[in-house]
Amino acid sequence: MAKKSAVEKNEHRRKLAKNYSGKRARLKALVQNKELPIEERFAAVLKLAELPRNSAKVRIRNRCEVTGRPRAFYRKLKMSRIALRELGSQGQVPGLVKSSW
C-alpha cells in the first residue's frame, strides 16, 4: 500500500487540474495564436505562469486504484501488475485466465 499522503496529493492534483483546465486551455490558445501581437501573447504566458503548478495535467501520476502503487500501471485496468495478479488469482477480474502448471 502506498503512503496515504502521496495518494491524497495526487487526488488534490486531479481536482486542481479539473478546475483549471478551461482557463489553462484558453491561455494556451492565446499563446499559440501567431496572429496576435507579441505583447498579448507574452501577457498570456505570464498569466499561465501564475496558475498553480499542480493544476497542470502533466503533474498527475497514474496510480493503482487498489493499492496506490505508482509504477507498473495498466491504464486500461487502472491498476498495477501486482494488484492485477492478486485479483486474477482470486478470479475477480472478468475475462482473465491465469495459467499455473
What is the DSSP code (8-state) at residue 42?
Answer: H
Taking residues 10-17, what's their average pLDDT?
A: 97
Annotate 9-35 with DSSP letters as a single string: HHHHHHHHHHHHHHHHHHHHHHHH-TT
In this predicted structure, the answer to whether residue 100 has a pLDDT above a threshold of 80 is no
In this predicted structure, the answer to whether residue 74 has a pLDDT above a threshold of 90 is yes
- pTM assigned to the model: 0.82
Please give the pLDDT value at position 98: 79
Pure H helices in 1-101: 4-32, 38-50, 81-90
Residue 80: its H or E element? strand 79-80
Half-sphere exposure of 49 (CA within 13 A, CB side): 7
In this predicted structure, the answer to whether residue 97 has a pLDDT above a threshold of 90 is no
Cell triple for 62: 497514474
Instruction: Tell me the pLDDT band of 52, cut-offs 50, 70 and 90.
Output: very high
Helix axes 38-50, 4-32, angle to 10 degrees: 170
Nearest to 16 by CA among 56, 44, 45, 50: 56
Q: For residue 40, which amino acid is it?
A: E
